Amino acid sequence: MGPASLSPSLSPSLSAPQVVGILGGMGPAAGADFVRLFVEACSRQLQALGRGVQDQAFPEHWLAQVPVPDRTGALLNRDSGAHQPLEPMLQALGRLAALGARSVAMACNTAHAWHGRLQERFPQLELLHVAQEVAQALQAQGARQAILLATEGTYRSGLYEQALGQAGIALILPDAAQRERLMQGIYQGVKQGDRVLAQTCFAEVAAALLERHGAQPVLMACTEIPLALPGAPEVAGATLIDPAQVLAQALAGRAYGVPGVSGLALQIS
């Protein structure tokens, strides 16, 4: 049943939406872009519920955009110190909880390596898990394999391997040289404002994996990658999946009290 066929009489259309939060700052551009994705997801959810898309129908939502140390660097150097991101993330979650947020999404894939510790400290919040949301969406579409483009920290954490493996989906991973190229696109590209370099790096790796493994879905599992890869001619016609878009749809579902609505959010280049 498509979203447009949902009956308003069966939806929580008369109840006020829940307050939700977004943990950003990793980096700031990705956090700001996640707000855009969330607002778009809310518009789709309102339409699915048969409600008018108007300003007053959108849920109260808060963005905690705080400076957070580099997540990949922290995973590569697990010694305690100011380079660890857990404490700033805990402080940000505390602020979101104080503002009344019931569900929170983290606008960073690599940060989910700390998901368990964050959720343990704030049991009153539902901290959404991006890889689990993506796994459910891919499984619903009958996917059996997917290409993973991510940070070195995400690869080392096994974040997506575990979640997708439990859903029966095998991951195709880049080799060491390709991972370095992705990191170049993230750090010297997007984070430095050089979108041309970023697109070149991301497209080079994606195109090589698609050529070798065929037309598999491509997970852009770092919030910087969707800011540069879509539109690259090397991936024209490929199915590019933005996990942040899937996560934003899941957060919108929580806001309106609709479970299991993560859906598969696709970007087709």
User: Per-residue pLDDT for the chain (269 aa), expressed as one digit of tens each?
Assistant: 333 333 333 344 457 899 999 999 888 888 999 999 999 999 999 999 888 899 999 999 999 999 999 898 898 887 888 789 999 999 999 999 999 999 999 999 989 999 999 999 999 999 999 999 999 999 998 999 999 999 998 999 899 999 999 999 999 999 999 999 999 999 999 999 999 999 999 999 999 999 999 999 999 999 899 999 999 999 999 999 999 999 999 999 999 998 664 444 443 33
Residues found in the chain: 269
268 within a domain of the structure (yes/no): no
In this prediction, residue 260 carries a pLDDT of 60
Asked if 115 and 192 sit in the same domain, the reply is no
The tokens of 197 are what? Answer: 């370099």
CATH number of domain containing 189: 3.40.50.1860
Asked if 167 and 121 sit in the same domain, the reply is no
List of residues 6+ apart from 3 with CB closer than 8 A = 44, 47, 48
Asked if 46 and 99 sit in the same domain, the reply is yes
DSSP code for 58: S
Asked if 197 and 95 sit in the same domain, the reply is no
Q: From CA 156, how far away is CA 183, in angstroms rounded?
A: 13
Task: Report the domain count for the chain.
Answer: 2
Asked if 67 and 79 sit in the same domain, the reply is yes
| 226 class by beta-carbon count within 10 Å (0-12 exposed, 13-18 middle, 19+ buried) | buried
Asked if 74 and 35 sit in the same domain, the reply is yes
**Residue whose structure tokens are 């409600």:** 51
62 within a domain of the structure (yes/no): yes
Neighbouring C-beta atoms of residue 52, cutoff 10 Å: 9
265 within a domain of the structure (yes/no): no
The tokens of 137 are what? Answer: 């969406």
Pick from 197, 212, 223: nearest CA to 147: 212
Q: 12 φ, ψ to 5°?
A: -80, 50
Asked if 141 and 9 sit in the same domain, the reply is no
In this structure, which amino acid lies at residue 238?
A: A
Domain that includes residue 193, residue range: 131-244
176 within a domain of the structure (yes/no): yes
Asked if 10 and 108 sit in the same domain, the reply is yes
Asked if 120 and 135 sit in the same domain, the reply is no
Sign of the alpha-carbon dihedral angle for 6, 8, 11, 15 = positive
What is the distance, to the nearest Å, from the Cα of residue 48 to the centroid of all Cα atoms in its chain?
Answer: 22
∠ at Cα 86 (85, 90), nearest 5°?
Answer: 120
What is the distance, to the nearest Å, from the Cα of residue 134 to the centroid of all Cα atoms in its chain?
Answer: 8
Asked if 162 and 45 sit in the same domain, the reply is no
